[in-house]
Structure 1
Amino acid sequence: MAAPPPAAAATEPHSVFVYGTLMAEEVVRVLLGRAPPSSPALLPGHRRFSLRGRVYPAILPAPGYAVSGKVFMGLTNRELHVFDMFEDEEYVKKTVEDTLEKSLTYAYIWGNEGDPDLYGEWDYEEWRKVHLKDYLEMTQEFMDEIGQF
């Protein structure tokens, strides 16, 4: 794997590849108070899955697949910490390389490769139509709970 980005030393700014609910700038605005600059991105060697009983997806390494998403750039240490808390312990933050920007960035990879709840392909547009409103409310509740840290 390529060397970790300078962000690994906790220096700003950071970049994060997102592929699920965080592709919705409305969600990111609730979390960070802004929508950082972003660009389309493609993460090779990974596959996006739905998770039974959950409205958010997971990605896992999978040769021959690629996950489309976006990279948020220019995140502060505080903003990266908010993403870390939001993604919770089920995800592992790893350094990856997206093929569109040709840059090293962080991504949150599902921590349980053998999870029996993984299935099929997660659909972003369907999620927006069906779950965005409730997800925004849940995200605001999350921010209210963590307050200023």
Structure 2
Amino acid sequence: MASTNPQPVAALHNVFVYGSLLADDVARVLLNRVPASSPAILHNYHRFSIKGRVYPAILPIENKQVSGKVLSGITPFELHILDEFEDVEYERQTVDVYLMDSSEKLQVSTYVWSNKTDPKLYGEWDFQEWQRLHKEDFIKMSLGFMEELQLPESKPRVTTYESFFQPKTDGQS
């Protein structure tokens, strides 16, 4: 008689990332591994810079597109970590993306900016610039976030972020 696995297999998730999680180093800090990934395009969205933040936001904007990648095989526990990391500033939503290497359409989760009319959103966020200027500090902040997440009374990610990225107070706006 063949044995069957009485435990249901937990569903794995695919997550479209378009900001700091494009950096394998950030994914490794949060998930303790670098998931398999595929380059992808999200149509009818725009990636904004956010005043006072080094990471981007996306919102639906007709005739725009966001390039990023799909992280594959994300476990429910890893998805929980990503939910905590994205905090209240983002809402996890299901979207359709197109894989760049095959044009295959894939339904995935992604994190969309919660405040649809946020006046702090502007321009277009640049990953290359982020890597040059902010990646090293962002990795340190992410390590702090993961340490904080282990505590029974952990602070929200935004609080951890703000302790690492203090606004400049040199009198300039």
**What is the TM-score normalised by the length of structure 2?**
0.78
Report the Cα offset of residue 113 of structure 1.
Answer: 1.2
User: Do residues 113 (structure 1) and 112 (structure 2) align?
Assistant: no
Q: Which residue of 2 aligns with 1:98?
A: 97
Aligned partners of 2:11 and 2:84: how far apart in 1? 18
User: Do residues 142 (structure 1) and 145 (structure 2) align?
Assistant: yes
Q: Where does the alignment leave 5 or more consecutive residues of structure 1 unmatched?
A: 1-10
Report the Cα offset of residue 148 of structure 1.
Answer: 7.6
CA RMSD of aligned residues (A): 1.4
The 3-state SS of whatever aligns with 2:116 is coil
The 3-state SS of whatever aligns with 1:88 is helix
Query: What is the one-letter code of the residue matched to 2:108?
Result: T
User: Do residues 130 (structure 1) and 129 (structure 2) align?
Assistant: no
Count, aligned residues: 140
Query: What is the one-letter code of the residue matched to 1:107?
Result: T
Aligned partners of 1:12 and 1:128: how far apart in 2? 32
Q: Where does the alignment leave 5 or more consecutive residues of structure 2 unmatched?
A: 1-9, 153-173
Q: Which residue of 2 aligns with 1:3?
A: none
Aligned partners of 2:151 and 2:75: how far apart in 1? 15
The 3-state SS of whatever aligns with 2:88 is coil
**What is the TM-score normalised by the length of structure 1?**
0.91
The 3-state SS of whatever aligns with 1:86 is helix
Report the Cα offset of residue 44 of structure 1.
Answer: 0.2
Larger Rg: 2
Listed one character per residue, the Cα deviations across residues 1-23 of structure 1 (whole Å, up to 9, x for unaligned) are: xxxxxxxxxx4210100000011
Q: Which residue of 2 aligns with 1:49?
A: 48
Aligned partners of 2:56 and 2:32: how far apart in 1? 23
Listed one character per residue, the Cα deviations across residues 5-43 of structure 1 (whole Å, up to 9, x for unaligned) are: xxxxxx421010000001101000000000010000000
Larger relative contact order (CA 8 Å, sep ≥ 6): 1
Distance 1:148 1:39, change over 3 A: farther
Aligned partners of 2:87 and 2:135: how far apart in 1? 19
Aligned partners of 2:84 and 2:129: how far apart in 1? 25
Runs of 4+ residues deviating >2 angstroms = none
The 3-state SS of whatever aligns with 2:148 is helix
The 3-state SS of whatever aligns with 1:122 is coil
Aligned partners of 1:131 and 1:28: how far apart in 2? 15
The 3-state SS of whatever aligns with 2:134 is helix
Q: Which residue of 1 aligns with 2:85?
A: 86
